[in-house]
Structure 1
Amino acid sequence: MTIRDRGNIKWTSMMLPEHVAMVREIYANQYKVAKPQLDEQEIEELERVIGEGMREQATLVFTYWSNGYYKTFMGKVYGFNQMRQSLKILDQFGDRVELKMSDLIDVRIGD
C-alpha cells in the first residue's frame, strides 16, 4: 500500500497570509551575509586587476555584494566614474552596468 501525502497543500489552509509572508522572509534572510570590509592590500589588488583588464580589454569576472548576497558576472570595463566611485562595465550580454567600487569583493581575469 502506497501512502499518498499531499505535502504542504494540507497545511496551506491553516496558515494566515501574514504568517506565510513571515516564513518566506525568514527563509530569504537565512542565507544573507554581512558586507565584508576589504583591507588596503585587497583594494590595491582589485585596482591592479581592473587596470590590467582595462589596458588589455580583457573580460573580467566581478564578484560583488548586493543586499546581503554575493553576486557574480563577467564583463569588460570601459570607464570609471570619479564622482560616484563606480566602474562602467559592458557585461557578457552587451548590457551596460555601473558597479560601485565599495560593493566589489573580488575581480579576476576571465577566460
Structure 2
Amino acid sequence: MNRDRGFKKWEMSIMIPEHVTMANQWRKEDEYINKPDLSEWDLQVIQEKLELSMKMKCETDIKVWGNGQIEIHRGTISKINHNNRQLFYSDPFEVKCGPINLDDIVDILAVEFIEF
C-alpha cells in the first residue's frame, strides 16, 4: 500500500519562513472586517430591540464587533448599565456573561423557538 502524501510533502518545503509569515499576514488582512458605520436609525432600532428583548426575557443573538471580527453572543439579557454603556447577559447554560460594550453592538436578533 502506497502512503504517498502527494503535494503536501512539497508544499511547506518550498516556502521559507518569510513567505509563511507574509502568507499569514495576508490572511489576517483578508479576514479583517471594518467596523460597520451605523446610522442614527440603526442605533435606534438596536436600542428598541435591546429593551424589548430585556422585557420579554427571550434568548437573543447579539452581534458584536471587536478586533476586526464579528462575534455572536447568545443569551438572555439580564442588565444594561447606561452609565458605563455595558450590557450583561446569561448564556443558555445560565452562566453570567459580560460585560459587552454597547458601542460595539452591531445587530440584535431575538431567537424564537417554535414548539410543535
Is this a same-fold pair by TM over 0.5? Answer: yes
- Aligned partner of 2:91 in structure 1 is 91
Provide runs of 4+ in structure 1 moved above 3 Å: none
| CA distance 1:76–1:26, change in 2 (3 Å) | same
**Aligned equivalents of 2:70 and 2:79: distance in 1?**
23
Shift of 1:100: 0.9
| CA distance 1:28–1:9, change in 2 (3 Å) | farther
| CA distance 1:84–1:9, change in 2 (3 Å) | farther
Q: How does 1:1-111 map to 2 (within 5 A)?
A: 6-93=6-93, 94-111=95-112
TM-score by length of 2: 0.80
Shift of 1:103: 0.9
TM-score by length of 1: 0.83
1:19-43 deviations in whole A, cap 9, x for unaligned? Answer: 2122112112212221011111111
1:66-87 deviations in whole A, cap 9, x for unaligned? Answer: 2112221211111123343111
Percentage identity across aligned positions?
Answer: 20
Q: Give 5+ residue unaligned stretches, structure 2.
A: none
Shift of 1:14: 3.4
Aligned length: 108
Shift of 1:95: 4.5
**Aligned equivalents of 2:35 and 2:11: distance in 1?**
36
Q: Secondary structure at the match of 1:105?
A: strand
| CA distance 1:29–1:95, change in 2 (3 Å) | farther
Please, what is the CA RMSD of the aligned residues?
1.9
**Aligned equivalents of 2:23 and 2:92: distance in 1?**
36
| CA distance 1:95–1:26, change in 2 (3 Å) | farther
Q: Is the 8 A contact 2:63 2:105 kept in 1?
A: yes
